[in-house]
Amino acid sequence: MRKLITPVIASLASAVIIAGCSSQPSTVSVDTTPKALPADIAEKPIELFVGQDLGAVGGLEDYDQGYVNYFGIPSGVTVYTSLKDLEGLEQKVNYGAGDNYANLYLESDAFKGVDIAMGLYLVDQLDDINAGTLDSNISKLANWISQSERTVYLRIGYEFEGSWNGYASDDYKEAYRRIVDGLNKLNVDNVEYVWQSSGYEEDREELLSYYPGDAYVDWVAYSYFNHDPKLAGQEMLRIARERGKPVMIAELTPRGYNLMLDDGKKTWDSWFKPFLNHLKENQDVIKIIAYINADWDVQPMWKGQGWGDTRLQSNLYIANKWRRTIKREEWLVTSTVAIPPIFLLPDDYDELKQARNKAAEDTVPQENQWQAEDATPTGNVRIYPDGAAAGGKGMAYMYQLGDSLTFKGVPQSNYFVIRYASERSGKIGLFVNGQRAYDIEFDSTGSWVGTYNKVEMRVDIPEGLM
């Protein structure tokens, strides 16, 4: 009779096998010789922007517990709107991700001269844009930007290649150019046009198939959440250098962490340090970073998706390190707070902390539990940081045939458990000694990171095999 042994592969994220194929995207020829940035930009230190809703930013009468109240006013703030409705500019709007109301910044003396990074949402609008139906809104947007009396960094159709947006490359390029042409025709001279990818799973040819042209792009940008710091925005950075464009990290946050409840030093070492190294290695082109300072888990749009709580002021250790980093790195900000207020912990802090600690204990490797990051990766698979993963890290980007993790010399087992996070449902194969022996079907956990589930199944794995 065989003894029951349960190997567990922990912290496996983005575990999706994609079947089928797609046609090759059209390409854009590129001179790969690096070009220098304009001198006035190249000589500047990094500018710090903060977002992405009024509560996260703070510094206003009805929003007084945000970033500004604890750290001071950054160089810029982020806002969002869509070309279809232009919501959140001249009126307050909330779609479940915090209040947006850009005019409040224009009306506030405290934010006088503070620049704006505007995410322009274009989902399900490309056909109308390209047909000219939204030309009047392009004119209204041009008027708002002109009257703002500050530089507006317009992120047109941000994260353009993300499957969640559904932008066809040719339609996207046509819409992007129409918006830029419309603003240029109206002589808007205080706008910078930003071409932003997701920073994930970058394919050079796919990215270039969305490129609207040098004359239409002032800044190249990407998002940075749980990215591998060595690979984050790698192709976007390459394209920026080839074309002499400065780079903006337009969305920046330690997704999956809870800064209020997590150990500050461990979090700083596992996420912030690698990110700062990423900046240092690319300081020749990265000139703006936009941090998202939000309690994601209380916002209906993001609740349950594992984004966490990324408010810098909620962790004393991280808050102090952040202040020192701003000073040491000489990031450009508008003002700083000399004596910051004390962050008040919620009444149920102890209970929340105990629950967080218990969840962390549950991820500690036990006997016969194997960590995914101890395996040999193949294909796109690589390490990623995640506060909810065992040891704060796991393996991600297992999304197509050939992506795999290989364990050698595993013990005999008749029971298998895998701990995973995935935004989608799907199926992966379990291979024994090089042969596919089992299909592991899994349901979506709602997020690529931060929210984990388990799949358990009976198996027959002889001792010492893979």
Give the tens place of pLDDT for each residue, 64-77.
999 999 999 999 99
Q: Which pLDDT band holds residue 365 (cuts at 50, 70, 90)? A: low
Is pLDDT of 105 > 90? yes
404 pLDDT tier (thresholds 50, 70, 90): confident
Residue ending a domain, choose from 304, 329, 354? 329
> Both 372 and 423 in a single domain?
yes
Average pLDDT over residues 365-370: 60
- Taking alpha carbons only, the member of 340, 334, 331 closest to residue 112 is 334
What angle is formed at CA 350 by the lines to CA 344 and CA 351, rounded to 5 degrees?
A: 125
Indicate whether 12 and 52 sit together in one domain.
no
The CATH number of residue 319's host domain is: 3.20.20.80
**Pair 224, 312 in one domain:** yes
Range of the domain at 384: 8-17+363-461
Question: Given a cut of 70, is residue 14 above it in pLDDT?
Answer: no
Minimum mean pLDDT range among 249-258, 323-332, 390-399:
390-399
Judged against a pLDDT cut of 80, whether residue 197 lies above it is answered with: yes
Provide the pLDDT for residue 298.
95
Say how far apart CA 250 and CA 160 lie, in whole Å.
13
Same domain membership, residue 303 and residue 184: yes
Percent of the chain with pLDDT over 70: 86
Specify the pLDDT at position 426.
80
pLDDT band at 17 (very low <50, low <70, confident <90, very high): very low
Identify whether residues 174 and 255 lie together within a single domain.
Answer: yes
Q: Stretch 318-347: mean pLDDT, rounded?
A: 96
| Residues 397, 322 share a domain | no
Report yes or no on 340 lying in a domain. no
Which residues is 252 bridged to in the sheet?
224, 291
User: Is residue 381 situated within a structural domain?
Assistant: yes
Q: Are 290 and 398 in the same domain? A: no
Same domain, 199 and 254: yes
CB contact at 8 A, 217 and 195: yes
If asked whether residues 323 and 379 sit together in one domain, one would say: no
342 domain-assigned: no
> What is the CA angle 112-252-289, rounded to 5?
50
339 within domain boundaries: no
Task: Give the number of other Cβ atoms within 10 Å of residue 23's Cβ.
Answer: 5
Q: Quick count: other Cβ atoms within 10 Å of Cβ 16?
A: 21
- In this predicted structure, the answer to whether residue 127 has a pLDDT above a threshold of 60 is yes
pLDDT of residue 432: 81
Q: Any idea which of 7-16, 37-46, 210-219, 435-444 has the lowest mean pLDDT?
A: 7-16
For residue 191, report the phi and psi dihedrals to the nearest 5 degrees.
-125, 140
Residue 414 and residue 311 share a domain: no
Residue 411: what pLDDT?
72
Q: Report the mean per-residue pLDDT for the chain.
A: 87
| Residue with more model confidence, 248 or 430 | 248
333-346 pLDDT tens trace: 999 999 999 999 99
Among the residue ranges 17-26, 49-58, 80-89, 309-318, the one predicted with the least confidence is: 17-26
Instruction: Give the residue numbers marked as catalytic.
Output: 159, 251
12 — pLDDT class (breaks 50, 70, 90): low
For residue 232, is it within any domain? Answer: yes
Q: How confident is the model at residue 232 (pLDDT cuts 50, 70, 90)?
A: very high
pLDDT at 83 over 60: yes
What is the spatial distance between Cα 445 and Cα 423, in angstroms, rounded to a whole number? 6
Give the model confidence (pLDDT) of 19-60 as tens digits.
333 334 444 455 677 888 988 899 899 999 999 999 999 999
Judge whether 233 lies within some domain: yes
Max avg pLDDT among 142-156, 192-206, 359-373: 142-156
Number of domains into which the chain is organized: 2
Classify residue 147: in a domain, yes or no. Answer: yes
Let me know whether 318 and 398 are in one domain: no
Q: Are residues 273 and 217 in the same domain?
A: yes
Q: Can you tell me which residue has the tokens 């408010």?
A: 311
Give exposure, 102-141, as e/b (b: 16+ Cβ within 10 Å).
Answer: bebbbeeeebeebbbbbbbbbeebbebbbeeebeebbeeb
pLDDT number for residue 78: 98
In a domain, 187, yes or no: yes
pTM of the complete model: 0.79
CATH number at 441 reads 2.60.120
432-458 per-position pLDDT tens digit: 877 787 788 887 777 667 778 777 766
Q: For residue range 417-426, what is the model confidence (pLDDT) as tens digits?
A: 787 787 777 8
